[in-house]
């Protein structure tokens, strides 16, 4: 580790992909009564990833039921075409994929000019060092710990190493970028992720399929 840091309790971002789509209002209101600070919205286009989820209209509806921070994760090609739509839907942080952006600097700048925070996500095969020239321009880096496209997949353990490497890059450059991890997060890997430098943990199935989501969120927050 390049510099010492003190791990804090992570922000928990339940992924609404794992909610009951027939009861989105109920499930957002359920999360409102937990210690989760963020709601994670997964947008999938059937092109960048095999699956299709929901878009700005559904996110706007879900956002209208909460005061929590709306964290939108675009798993779509040409995300620069839809920045305004996601700002209008109530997004606070908009994350695009490194692999989907030919002009990543331009896209990140456009997101910030729209009044949102800007995140960049790396697929499991994409090395952290590719962000070295952008690390002072982004508000967040999202490390994918599964191949994007579906909830409920198995955690890829190498994500912990990537979080350590990213934390070192951030500290070395005095960047304010936060580190988010998404995919297969459970109480089995949350502690290692936070000790490696993760600031935000996304959790879908682990929260929504648990008997007591509020207790599951509380345990994830206190994992380190």
Residues found near Zn ion in the complex (CB under 5 A): 42, 73, 182
Q: Which stretch binds ligand DX5 (CB under 6 A): 76-84, 106-114, 130-138, 149-157?
A: 149-157
Binding of residue 15 to ligand DX5 (CB under 6 A): yes
**Residue 149 interaction partner, one of ligand DX5, Zn ion, none, beta carbon < 5-8 Å per kind:** ligand DX5
Q: Cite the DSSP H helix spans in the chain.
A: 24-32, 56-63, 83-88, 104-113, 158-172, 190-196, 205-208, 213-221
Binding of residue 151 to ligand DX5 (CB under 6 A): yes
**Residue 27 interaction partner, one of ligand DX5, Zn ion, none, beta carbon < 5-8 Å per kind:** none
Using DSSP, how many helices (H) and how many strands (E) does the chain show? Answer: 8, 8
Residue 10: burial class (beta carbons within 10 Å; 0-12, 13-18, 19+): buried
For residue 79, CA distances in Å to 44, 82, 84, 94, 201 come to: 11, 6, 10, 10, 23
- 3-class DSSP state of 82: helix
- Tell me how many residues contact ligand DX5 (CB under 6 A): 22
Residues 52-111 that bind ligand DX5 (CB under 6 A): 73
**Residue 152 interaction partner, one of ligand DX5, Zn ion, none, beta carbon < 5-8 Å per kind:** ligand DX5
Instruction: State the catalytic residue, choosing from 27, 71, 182, 199.
Output: 182
Q: Where in the sequence numbering do the catalytic residues fall?
A: 42, 182
């Amino acid at each position: 580790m390049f510099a010492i840091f003190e791990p804090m309790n992570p922000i928990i971002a339940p992924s609404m992909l794992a909610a009951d789509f027939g009861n989105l209002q109920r499930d957002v209101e359920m999360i409102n009564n937990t210690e989760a600070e963020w709601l994670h919205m997964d947008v999938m286009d059937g092109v960048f990833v095999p699956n299709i989820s929901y878009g700005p209209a559904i996110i706007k509806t879900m956002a209208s039921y909460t005061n929590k921070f709306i964290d939108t994760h675009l798993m779509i090609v040409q995300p620069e075409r839809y920045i305004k739509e996601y700002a209008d839907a109530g997004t606070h942080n908009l994350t695009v994929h490194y692999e989907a952006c030919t002009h990543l600097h331009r896209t990140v700048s456009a997101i910030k000019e729209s009044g949102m925070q800007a995140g960049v996500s790396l697929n499991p095969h994409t090395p952290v060092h590719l962000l070295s020239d952008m690390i002072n321009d982004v508000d967040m880096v999202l490390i994918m710990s599964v191949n994007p496209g579906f909830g409920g997949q198995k955690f890829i353990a190498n994500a912990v190493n990537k979080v350590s490497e990213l934390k070192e890059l951030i500290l070395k450059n005095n960047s304010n970028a936060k580190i988010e991890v998404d995919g297969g997060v459970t109480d089995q890997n949350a502690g290692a992720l936070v000790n490696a430098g993760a600031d935000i943990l996304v959790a879908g199935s682990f929260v929504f399929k648990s008997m007591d989501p509020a207790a599951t969120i509380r345990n994830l927050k206190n994992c380190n």
